[in-house]
Chains A and B, each alone.
Chain A
Amino acid sequence: GQNIDQPTEMTATEGAIVQINCTYQTSGFNGLFWYQQHAGEAPTFLSYNVLDGLEEKGRFSSFLSRSKGYSYLLLKELQMKDSASYLCAVKDSNYQLIWGAGTKLIIKP
């Protein structure tokens, strides 16, 4: 079967750095997405990786290793507004998105 694994919950301190990991086992691979979802709201797109390596977008970076079936989202200079769930999703060989359950990130002052 197809599976996306990410930690259920993480806690970090304002101003610090946090890394959220995602491992996947899917039938084929056509890209990996990270979305941010604040409580009670819809997910919003953060990043897309299809080749190995690091993609940087301001305070957020996303890394992909296709050989290891692994990605991480790195958040720097954490702010209270970064408290949210972070969803990892992989596009499989049929171009369908397989979603992880999300990682709830709690930022403490």
Chain B
Amino acid sequence: SQTIHQWPATLVQPVGSPLSLECTVEGTSNPNLYWYRQAAGRGLQLLFYSVGIGQISSEVPQNLSASRPQDRQFILSSKKLLLSDSGFYLCAWSTFGADTGELFFGEGSRLTVL
């Protein structure tokens, strides 16, 4: 069966510090991968998605970046965090070419920038 894991689950970082969130998927190959951010009272905001190794599409220009060094690994990074980067970050995958394209989410990472 397919599983998705992301870490760390929670982190508190000072403004200006770097960030690295990691996500891995098991039990499937060539998945579509996504990074979302969820702010309180707002819908999920798509940050990045990837349809293959090294292929990253950015939906929102900001100080975050994403990389996909391996087929089932997706990393969200920042060189210098801002206060506005605080939020709940979710990694997700879907089956490439699937009719419904439902998303399967990781456990989430809650980031607090102080």
Interface flags, B41-58, vs A, CB<8A=1, else 0: 111111000000000000
Task: Judge whether B69 is part of the interface by a CB distance below 8 angstroms.
Answer: no
Of the four ranges (under 10, 10 to 19, 20 to 34, 35 or more), the interface on chain A belongs to 20 to 34
- Say whether, besides A99-B43, A101-B41, A41 and B102 are in contact (CB < 8 Å): no
Contact size range, B: 10 to 19
Taking the complex as formed, is B90 at the interface, i.e. its CB lies under 8 A from any CB of chain A?
A: yes
Chain A minimum-CB-distance residue to B90: A42
B79-99 CB mask vs A (1 if < 8 Å, else 0) is 000000000001000000000
B residues at A contact (CB < 8 Å): 41-46, 90, 100-108, 110
Q: List chain A positions with a Cβ less than 8 A from chain B.
A: 4, 8, 31, 33, 35, 40-45, 48, 50, 87, 89, 91, 95-102
